[in-house]
Structure 1
Amino acid sequence: MVETSESQPDKKRVLLTGATGFLGSYIVKKLLEDGHELIILKRSFSNIHRLQDIWSEIVSYDLDKTDLETPFRDFDRIDAVIHTATVYGRKNEEFTDLFEANTVFPMHLLNAAIKFNVSTYFNTDTPLDKQLNFYALSKAQFQEWGERLAKLGKIRFINIKLEQMFGPGDDDSKFPAFVIRKCLSSPELDLTLGEQKRDFIHIDDVISAYGLLLQKVHLLNAAYQEYELGSGKAISICNFVELVKQLTGSSIQLNFGAVPYREGEVMYSEANLVALEGLGWSSKIPLEEGLRQTIPWYSENNR
């Protein structure tokens, strides 16, 4: 067992998945700044470039080389699990891959957390309807298990329905990053009509919400609680793309209507912030300001 020193009661030891990804890496840095202790789960071949400058401050376990329960055995306590790892299905993965990554793996992690008396499991969820695609279905299936186990008194389960986040350093598989990159480098872009509305939230607002939830977790009395996380202001896709074009100074030709809507396309998604605002959180970064902070990174790192 790892020896531990006495820590302040508001400082926690947190086990995090997805730490080498966009969201996870920002959460790692935020929680370290807040004085928490971080343990991460990754693969031995994971690219750690996002964490290179703080790697010495993190305890890391390679899931392909060790048992999932090892970190729980190694430490006298883990206060919380924050699960951000996911597979979106954008790289032609089989539906079984999505089920394994988004349902089975977090179920094993949740079981280990329960077994070793972790008080709280934070789950990063999607607002998409489960009927839209296998990604949304696999996320919903795990959420339902988490809710059920929480209501049976096994663990506190905090479900965070995260809208469209964006910020410096995200990859092109995410729509905001894809649009920014295209506006900076392509002569034209084929799109749907763009009538669907989405809620875009800057990564700094996202991590402030995660930090606050961890800080105030002792005040969350219900075994299962759900928080919608976004800016609370939806904008049409066509207006979003036009705004990115304007801010990048691009001459790109936008071909709205060249791509059909997905079957079952969600036409409106906007976070209801009442629950988070009740804890004292609010979105601080307006969309245009957030894009102005984000676009220079893509200009400097354009491929």
Structure 2
Amino acid sequence: MRLLLTGATGFLGESLVRRFLADGHQIVILKRRTSVLPSLIASNAAIVCHDVEDGLAAAFVVTKPDAVIHLATCYGRSGEDIMTVFETNTAFPLRLLQAARAAEVALFINTDTALEKLTNAYSLSKRQFAEWGQWLAQRNEFTFINVRLEHMFGPGDAASKFTAHVIGTLLENRLEINLTKGEQLRDFIYIDDVLSGYQTLLAHYAENTVNGYIECDLGSGEAITIKDFVELVHTLTNSRTKLNFGALPYRPGEVMLTQADTSYLKKLGWRVQTSLAEGIQKIIASEKIL
């Protein structure tokens, strides 16, 4: 298949590009002119890049993709105002979806968050676009798969992410790390299992084309407290860092449980292959190589 991806310069996007190329798919990257491309994309002549500034309609006319995989997002962590978050997470993908439908692209895979809708501006804007996708898919003959992604982790992820921050801090044996009480339950999923989830969705669609809206949770299906996660990392890294649980307050509106319902993917034959401990050990091994 010829796949058009947004957000290909991010951790998940670059990982998916690598995996899809290995599967024999043709890759089209939709990016900004100012985007800094990973070496994988910049050095691969087989990857077609199209700048957003040249128009969304033109991207589909020129590249003729079979499916769109939307990964680009704005978390609002760098001081972006709510209009920027809304534009990135709701308005832009809605324009992208309209352009895809005008070009008669039959499959749109959206990457959503597992957070509750009203948790913050990020989750609200992500859910709003998913609801537009659901509304449109129920009235038109195309498939909109909404992937509700849980807490993904893996080697090379951004240091600002919670999992990477904790593992990096404990590996460095910093004096201490301040944390909340850690009672929140989270579903952590290793990057390779995330990639196989997307592969499974594509393979199933190619074999059994269906129309309409599909909600798909993508996580391990198991939840662990933040405290247990940090203590597991502490043990696996043999760290001497002092864990100050309770030193930080919970954020306003803190979500106390996220856990994927993986029944849909399991029906398609997908299974988690990497345990939480194995995933952490792979990150530790990669850090030691560096």
In structure 2, the residue matched to 1:73 is: 61
Q: Counterpart of 1:189 in structure 2: which amino acid? A: I
**Identical-residue share of aligned pairs (%):** 49
Mapped to 2, the partners of 1:173 and 1:238 lie a distance apart of 19
Change (3 A) 1:134 1:278: same
Change (3 A) 1:54 1:161: farther
Alignment gaps of 5+ in structure 2 = none
Q: TM-score, normalising length from structure 2? A: 0.95
Tell whether the 8 Å contact from 2:14 to 2:38 is kept in structure 1 after alignment.
no
What do residues 248-274 of structure 1 show as CA deviations (whole Å, max 9, x unaligned)? 221111111111111221111111111
Q: Counterpart of 1:132 in structure 2: which amino acid? A: T
How far residue 294 of structure 1 moved from its aligned partner, in angstroms, is 1.4
Tell whether the 8 Å contact from 2:3 to 2:67 is kept in structure 1 after alignment.
yes
Change (3 A) 1:50 1:23: farther
Mapped to 1, the partners of 2:193 and 2:25 lie a distance apart of 19
How far residue 243 of structure 1 moved from its aligned partner, in angstroms, is 1.0
1:27 matched to 2:16? The reply is yes
Q: Counterpart of 2:58 in structure 1: which amino acid? A: T
Change (3 A) 1:127 1:28: same
In structure 2, the residue matched to 1:9 is: none
Tell whether the 8 Å contact from 1:166 to 1:176 is kept in structure 2 after alignment.
yes
What do residues 165-219 of structure 1 show as CA deviations (whole Å, max 9, x unaligned)? 0011100222111111111232211111000010100000000010111111142
1:292 matched to 2:278? The reply is no
In structure 2, the residue matched to 1:236 is: 225
In structure 2, the residue matched to 1:51 is: 40
Residue aligned with 2:249, SS: coil
In structure 2, the residue matched to 1:194 is: 182
Output aligned runs, 1:267-286, within 5 Å: 267-286=256-275
Count of residues paired in the alignment: 288
Alignment gaps of 5+ in structure 1 = 1-11
How far residue 48 of structure 1 moved from its aligned partner, in angstroms, is 1.9
How far residue 134 of structure 1 moved from its aligned partner, in angstroms, is 0.3
How far residue 297 of structure 1 moved from its aligned partner, in angstroms, is 2.5
Q: TM-score, normalising length from structure 1? A: 0.91
Tell whether the 8 Å contact from 2:142 to 2:211 is kept in structure 1 after alignment.
no
In structure 2, the residue matched to 1:3 is: none
Tell whether the 8 Å contact from 1:90 to 1:173 is kept in structure 2 after alignment.
no
How large is the Cα RMSD of the aligned pairs?
A: 1.4
1:210 matched to 2:180? The reply is no
Change (3 A) 1:113 1:151: same
